[in-house]
């Protein structure tokens, strides 16, 4: 009896380990886009030469962008693009600016966008996005000229993967008619702000703080995937093992011939339990990836398949018993 119990216990442990690995693999697959995006953003931050960014009230014509946070918004196919909008004022860009001195050379109706929002909105080089002018109320077309790396924003609290940046070419229409602040990027020396007569109007953003937050998010998501996988695997095993126990008790009470009739309601409940656990896996996974029609199908199809599949598998299992 002890040997049988130990063997059964080992089998249960083995099943639990196998299910955990399977669930973990599925969740890693579903969250891979999110984790890769976090990794890319961290790589982008690590490759920057600037250490700080700060909001000022004047264009100091070096490593500075006009900061149209909510004044300019963009849409694609009538869908709002979640982004921070910067305008290249065509001042000098040194190696300490956002793009390490890279000159985008944008015309007025051209934009560069970060890769994360390009992916979310299905945009490529050559795509057209729209923005309604706050001055003329005219809907203008802007052409995507360049895809930048994954960038969630310019603030150390901008950690939303669905958010990115859009850099537009210089527009005298906006600069001459709408008051705007500027974002200045620098390494350690901020004396240029005072020498150019500018005033600080926003908080200082430290790139090292941003990097630590991004790394923390990456570690947290991996930890959550593992924890959720373990919990779901344990629930899955509880359902299956309690179902086996139910079969054993019902068989002793009613015999093999009448077992299916006595247990078919329980069978339906257990089938739904198994399928609900499957649905939980995919629903929780959707927290880490962007919402889409494909994701809805990924969630619904396994639920339907497992519901019917587990019912017929367990039904045949009972009859064989």
Digit-coded pLDDT (tens) for 49-91: 888 888 899 888 888 999 987 788 999 988 999 888 999 987 7
Q: How many C-alpha atoms does 22 have within 13 Å on its Cβ side?
A: 11
What is the strand order of the sheet 128-132 is part of?
Answer: 79-80, 75-76, 128-132, 139-148, 110-114, 164-168, 83-88, 64-68, 181-186, 52-56, 205-206
What is the percent of the chain where pLDDT is above 70? 60
Contact 134, 72 (CB under 8 A): yes
Q: How confident is the model at residue 290 (pLDDT cuts 50, 70, 90)?
A: very low
CB neighbour burial string for 272-299, b if at least 16 within 10 angstroms, e if fewer: bbbbbbbbbbbebbbebbeeeeebeebb
Query: Residue 130: which of 144, 146, 119, 115 has the closest Cα?
Result: 144
Q: How confident is the model at residue 298 (pLDDT cuts 50, 70, 90)?
A: low
Query: Residue 200: which of 52, 96, 73 has the closest Cα?
Result: 52
> pLDDT at position 8, please?
46
Burial of 236 (0-12, 13-18, 19+ CB in 10 A): buried
This prediction's pTM: 0.66
Digit-coded pLDDT (tens) for 79-133: 999 888 999 987 788 888 888 888 888 998 999 999 888 988 999 999 999 999 8
């Amino acid at each position: 009896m002890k040997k049988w119990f130990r063997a059964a216990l080992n089998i249960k442990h083995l099943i639990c380990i196998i299910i955990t690995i399977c669930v973990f693999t599925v969740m890693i697959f579903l969250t891979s886009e999110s984790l890769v995006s976090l990794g890319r953003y961290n790589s982008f931050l690590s490759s920057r030469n600037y250490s700080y960014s700060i909001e000022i009230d004047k264009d100091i014509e070096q490593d500075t962008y006009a900061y149209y946070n909510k004044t300019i918004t963009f849409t694609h196919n009538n869908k709002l693009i979640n982004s921070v909008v910067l305008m290249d004022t065509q001042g000098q860009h040194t190696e300490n600016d956002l793009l390490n001195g890279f000159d985008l050379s944008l015309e007025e109706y051209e934009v560069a966008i970060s890769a994360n929002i390009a992916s979310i909105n299905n945009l490529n080089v050559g795509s057209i996005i729209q923005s309604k002018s706050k001055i003329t109320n005219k809907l203008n077309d802007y052409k995507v000229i360049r895809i930048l790396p994954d960038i969630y924003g310019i603030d150390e609290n901008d950690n939303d993967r669905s958010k990115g940046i859009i850099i537009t070419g210089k527009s005298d229409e906006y600069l001459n008619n709408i008051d705007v602040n500027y974002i200045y990027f620098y390494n350690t020396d901020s004396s240029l702000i005072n020498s150019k007569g500018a005033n600080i109007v926003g908080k200082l953003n430290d790139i090292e703080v941003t990097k630590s937050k991004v790394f923390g998010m990456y570690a947290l998501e991996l930890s959550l995937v593992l924890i959720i996988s373990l919990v779901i695997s344990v629930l899955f095993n509880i359902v299956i093992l309690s179902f086996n126990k139910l079969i054993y008790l019902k068989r002793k009470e009613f015999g093999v011939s009448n077992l299916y009739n006595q247990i078919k309601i329980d069978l339906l409940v257990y089938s739904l339990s198994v399928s609900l656990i499957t649905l939980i896996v995919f629903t929780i996974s959707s927290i880490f990836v962007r919402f889409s029609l494909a994701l809805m199908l990924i969630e619904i199809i396994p639920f339907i398949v497992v519901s019917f599949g587990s019912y017929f598998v367990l039904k045949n299992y009972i009859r064989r018993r």
